[in-house]
Amino acid sequence: MGYFDAASAAPLHPVARQALLASLDEGWADPARLYREGRRARLLLDAAREAAAEAVGCRADELVFTPSGTRAVHSGVAGALAGRRRVGRHLIVSAVEHSSVLHAAEELERDGGTVTQVPVDRAGAVDAGAFAAALGDDTALACLQSANHEVGTEQPVARVAESCRAAGVPLLVDAAQSLGWGKVQADWSLLTASAHKWGGPSGVGLLAVRKGVRFAPQGAADERESGRAPGFENLPAIVAAAASLRAVRAEAAQEAARLRELTERIRARVPGLVPDVEVVGDAVRRLPGIVTFSCLYVDGETLLHELDRAGFSVSSGSSCTSSTLTPSHVLKAMGVLTEGNVRVSLPPGTPAEDVERFLEVLPGAVAAVRERLGAPAAAESAPLTGADLVVDAIGRRCPIPVIELAKVIGDVPVGGTVRVLSDDEAARLDIPAWCEMRGQEYVGEEREERGTAYLVRRIT
What is the reported pLDDT for 456? Answer: 94
Q: What is the pTM of this model?
A: 0.88
Q: Which residues contact 428 (CB under 8 A, 6 or more apart)?
A: 445, 452, 454
What pLDDT is stored for residue 380 in this prediction? Answer: 44
Spatial distance between the Cα atoms of 351 and 259, rounded to a whole number of angstroms: 9
Length of the chain: 460
Distance between CA 437 and CA 399 in Å, rounded?
A: 15
Q: How far is CA 451 from the centre of its chain?
A: 30
Mean pLDDT, each 10-residue run in order, the chain (460 residues): 93 97 92 93 96 97 96 97 97 97 97 97 96 97 97 98 97 98 96 98 97 91 79 93 97 96 96 93 96 92 94 81 68 91 96 97 96 73 54 89 90 90 90 90 89 91
At residue 386, the pLDDT reads 42
| Residue 222, phi-psi category: left (phi > 0), alpha (psi -120 to 50), beta (remainder) | beta
Q: Please, which residues have CB within 8 angstroms of residue 115's CB and are 6 or more apart in sequence?
A: 90, 91, 92, 93, 105, 106, 108, 109
Rounded to 5 degrees, φ, ψ at 339 are -70, 145
Supply angle C-alpha 218, 223, 227, rounded to 5: 30
What pLDDT score does 319 carry? 52
pLDDT at 381: 39
Which of the residues are catalytic? 320
Dihedral-angle region of residue 339 (phi above 0 means left; psi in -120 to 50 means alpha; beta otherwise)? beta
Dist CA 304 CA 306 (whole Å): 5
